[in-house]
Amino acid sequence: MGTENEESGYLKTPALSKSQIKKWDNRNPGAFWRDCSFNPKAKFNKFTDAIVMGQLRHMMLFQRGLVLDNFEVNDELGKSRINKKWILAQDSSKKMFITSEELAQATLGTEALIKHEVIRDLLKYAKTESPYFWHDKEWDIDCKMRTDAETGTVDNGSICIDLKTTGKEFPKYIDKEGYQYEVGFYSRGLREKYKRPMKQFIHILQSTAENDEDNIRVKVTEGAMLEACEIEVDRVVREIAPRIKKWQESKD
């Protein structure tokens, strides 16, 4: 993650992402196109409370040294990011504003994650990566991805680490519909990036409910399940790619 302008630049780059794949519904392709980065009329950069807090928590865990460069506490703007005062202030700032209460919540959550033995071991050798862009020859479409962190070795294969936070009930959220698209797409992207298969995809899931930050789960996807996720992503993208080309041709 970077500043708001960098975030906006990534979102606007016309390339297929895992977020776009998750939104695809062949019964309502128009809804997909409205927010698609290939659509020149699509609107981006709407920073909701969930988006800002998600970015803050990710940066505190994976890039803590950059937090002060990207976020600023401001308790004078009110509690809603959709009020005029907040919007005007945010538009003129390169940093994202957060409240002291939000910072305290994110700090508690990050401290709980760092205390978790499995997660602490994972992060010991993990490194954050810049956004990665590639043209997928089989799909004939430009793609982009931005992993939270990566670890592993050249010989044993890469491991992708992804943080998910939620206020929803955990048992249902862990296996929520759509996670397979993220796993399958990142697996394909990392294979292109490193020219070898991905070994594991590891989800770190944490509750954001009040006083529930110690409710943490680690979900590992590997082997046959990893392959199944890739197959499902391939099926969906082969529906999406031709439709995007038709939309683009209709605008020429």
Torsion angle (degrees, nearest 10) of CA 106, 203, 198, 22: -90
Residue 120 amino acid letter: R
CB atoms within 10 A of CB 77: 17
pLDDT for residue 251: 63
CA atoms of 94 and 96, how far apart (whole Å): 7
Pair of tokens at residue 238: 């082969």
pLDDT for residue 154: 63
For helices 117-124 and 100-115, the axis angle rounded to 10 degrees is: 90
Q: Which of 245, 230, 237, 226 is nearest to 138 (CA)?
A: 237
pLDDT for residue 9: 76
DSSP 127: B
pLDDT, one tens digit per residue, over 65-91 is 999 999 999 999 988 888 899 989 988
The number of residues in the chain equals 252
pLDDT averaged over 10-residue windows placed end to end, the chain, 252 residues: 58 92 90 90 76 92 93 91 89 92 95 95 89 96 95 82 82 67 95 92 91 91 95 96 88 58
- Considering Cα of 16, then 18, then 20, then 26, what sign does the dihedral take? positive
Q: What share of the chain is helix, strand, coil (3-state, %, to 5)?
A: 50, 20, 30
CATH of span 4-251 = 3.90.320.10
pTM to 2 decimal places:
0.87
CA atoms of 13 and 145, how far apart (whole Å): 11
pLDDT for residue 225: 93
Q: Which of 181, 179, 183, 227 is nearest to 201 (CA)?
A: 183
Cβ neighbours for 177, distance < 8 A, ≥ 6 positions apart: none
Pair of tokens at residue 24: 């695809």
Torsion angle (degrees, nearest 10) of CA 43, 46, 51, 56: 120
